[in-house]
């Protein structure tokens, strides 16, 4: 039986800190992030690739908002998630096709816009707290709340931001197709930005939700659904650490899910950074996954060689 892996690219790796996010920069960063993918292929893994979209969808929201004064209604967040699946999937797909060609690897690469089922009664739907998009003045915030029904809150004295639900993913609509493609040795880019959030109505039809699904939870769910052995989560640090940023910081080479859960419960991994990645790793292992690797894009080849990275089993 062939080995299978899901590799989760972070959206911040494709628009890096200090960059404007031009398409030239994004293509360059994408091409530089593919060394680990070639390494996984060389180790015999069949692959699905996911990616974040935080900076990209944030930029789209700014572009949408710029059209409001011209009478152009902004697109809902779920549609923007779908748009980034297309734009970023295209970048990753073409960059990977070129990389495979250079390494004389004959594999197809395909991007699938992925609808992801959530519970319409998820607690986060009633109490949205995930900040997205730009900052607004109080006057702008009041206008947007009135005209579009957005939930907008003050953000630490820096201005006002829209907050949206971030529900837990429950199912992936095209997972059977994704699994079939991966099983046939195609590389599939799916669940970009956590996927397009939808819920199932009483008559069995689908309806979109204006929300953001955490990319790491969606990646873990995809890994379970396609029966992957390995989940690779790429982030901004080479290794997971406890007491991060303190004099007694301790980098972790390997831990089991009991240790990971203990650290998570102690608050070692903040909700806005490492917390969701650890929670997703625990979920994947509990549901039958074998191993999770967390490391940075820059060190991914070294991580596969056992020289860095954090393993959770």
Q: Is 277 a catalytic residue?
A: yes
Q: Is 4 a catalytic residue?
A: no
Q: Which of 277, 289, 299, 309 is catalytic?
A: 277
Q: Which of 4, 10, 11, 193 is catalytic?
A: 11
Q: Which of 130, 179, 225, 239 is catalytic?
A: 130
Q: Which of 133, 193, 195, 215 is catalytic?
A: 215
Q: Is 248 a catalytic residue?
A: no
Q: Which of 3, 12, 208, 236 is catalytic?
A: 12
Q: Is 215 a catalytic residue?
A: yes
Question: Cβ contacts of residue 212 below 8 Å, gap of 6+?
Answer: 57, 77, 81, 130, 132, 164, 165, 166, 193, 194, 197
Q: Is 176 a catalytic residue?
A: no
Q: How far apart are CA 230 and CA 72, in angstroms?
A: 44
Task: Kindly list the catalytic residues.
Answer: 11-12, 130, 215, 277
């Amino acid at each position: 039986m062939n080995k299978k892996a899901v590799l989760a690219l972070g959206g911040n790796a494709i628009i890096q800190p200090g960059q404007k996010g031009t398409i030239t920069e994004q293509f360059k960063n994408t091409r530089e992030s593919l060394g680990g993918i070639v390494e996984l292929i060389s180790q015999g893994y069949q692959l699905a690739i996911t990616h974040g979209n935080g900076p990209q969808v944030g930029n789209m929201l700014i572009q949408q908002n710029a059209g409001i004064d011209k009478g152009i209604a902004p697109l809902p967040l779920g549609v923007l998630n779908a748009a980034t699946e297309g734009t970023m999937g295209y970048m990753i797909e073409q960059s990977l096709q070129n990389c495979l060609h250079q390494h004389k690897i004959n594999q197809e690469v395909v991007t699938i816009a992925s609808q992801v089922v959530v519970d319409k009664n998820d607690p986060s739907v009633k109490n949205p707290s995930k900040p997205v998009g730009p900052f607004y003045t109080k006057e702008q915030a009041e206008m947007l709340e009135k005209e579009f029904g957005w939930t907008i809150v003050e953000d630490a004295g820096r201005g006002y931001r829209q907050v949206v639900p971030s529900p837990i993913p429950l199912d992936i609509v095209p997972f059977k197709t994704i699994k079939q493609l991966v099983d046939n040795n195609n590389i599939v880019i799916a669940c970009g930005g956590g996927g397009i959030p939808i819920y199932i109505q009483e008559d069995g039809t689908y309806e979109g939700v204006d929300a953001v699904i955490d990319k790491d939870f969606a990646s873990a769910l995809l890994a379970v659904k396609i029966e992957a052995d390995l989940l690779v989560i790429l982030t901004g640090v080479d290794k997971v650490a406890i007491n991060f940023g303190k004099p007694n910081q301790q980098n972790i080479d390997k831990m089991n899910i009991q240790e990971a859960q203990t650290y998570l419960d102690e608050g070692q991994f903040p909700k806005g950074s490492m917390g969701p990645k650890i929670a997703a790793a625990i979920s994947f292992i509990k549901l039958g996954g074998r191993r999770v690797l967390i490391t940075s894009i820059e060190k991914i080849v070294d991580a596969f060689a056992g020289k860095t990275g954090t393993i959770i089993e």
